[in-house]
Amino acid sequence: MKPFAFVFPGQGSQSVGMLDGWADHPQVLAAVAEASDALHEDVGQLIKEGPKEALALTTNTQPVMLVAGVAAYRVWMAEVGVAPAAVAGHSLGEYSALVASGVLTLSQAAPLVRFRAQAMQEAVPVGVGAMAAILGMDASKVIAICAEVTGSFGQNATEVVEAVNFNDPGQTVIAGSKAAVDQACVALKAQGAKRALLLPVSAPFHSSLMQPAALKLKDQLDTVAFAAPQIPVINNIDVAVESDPQRIRDALMRQAFGPVRWVEVVLALQARGLSTLVECGPGKVLAGMAKRIAPDLAGLALFDAASLADVKTSLLEA
């Protein structure tokens, strides 16, 4: 089988019924049960029935996306048994990657991502922060314009806007206070961005406004026993592979208020000699990004029984 990497999606790829394509696969049922026990609620019912608005709450989105990614990974290992050469995850997806690598159990990770979600939501009241996707502009220009906009509010102002997700060469997400994000969207479009789309999120994730959440998360991470990874995990914040549990904790803490360097993560996976990235979990967002970042990379998606068969066939081809 050709060497490959698994990448795990984050918020935004959730949907009601997103595990239905696995039918009643025992690995999926076991993952749902494990997370439900850890969270003391019926995660399976939430995923199966929603409603959509409940799934979209970040305190629910983060645990259900974790479960969906881990479930897909466990089905792959049960049915195919060939581990990826490396793993990574986009934002929240990094926790799924750490479970796949054996650093955390699902029972540890589920309460951890719920805590992370609650801390992030509490750090900035709903409506005070915002995020927007900037399309069709080089990331370095987005960074520079955001710095100009932040500076325009004056030295002691609380308004801030920053580039926080470097998703692909033509898409950078910005985040910060709502006034600064709104002003940045106007400035970015005036200076050549094709589009500036406000995102339907409840907090300015990965911006410096998340530092209070990161401090809470640090204390929580310190209470959880981390194991050494069995598979290399390329992290978001440093685009690095860490094996020391304390360094992994520190990277997760800084990831909460630092940028998701996804373009560099994908290129780092490619630099390891991997020609195929498999998105493990709902959706095809990361598979699409992979091809835009590195056109000679194959981007596949693993989210149900049919796609598992397709991925297996693709990786077995000469």
Q: Which residues are catalytic?
A: 91, 206
Q: Rounded distance, CA 49 to CA 59, Å? A: 17
Query: Is the omega angle on the peptide bond into residue 51 within 30 degrees of 0, that is, cis?
Result: yes
Asked if 233 and 135 count as a contact pair (C-beta separation under 8 A), the reply is no
Q: Rounded distance, CA 51 to CA 32, Å? A: 18
Q: Rounded distance, CA 147 to CA 145, Å? A: 5
- Under DSSP, is residue 126 helix (H, G, I), strand (E, B) or coil? coil
Beta-strand (E) ranges in the chain?
5-8, 86-89, 129-135, 161-168, 171-177, 195-198, 276-280, 298-302
Q: Rounded distance, CA 82 to CA 85, Å? A: 9
Buried b (16+ CB within 10 A) or exposed e, 294-317: beebbbbbbbbeebbeebbeebee
Largest CA distance in the chain: 60
Q: Which two tokens stand for residue 29?
A: 């049922």
Asked if 36 and 44 count as a contact pair (C-beta separation under 8 A), the reply is yes
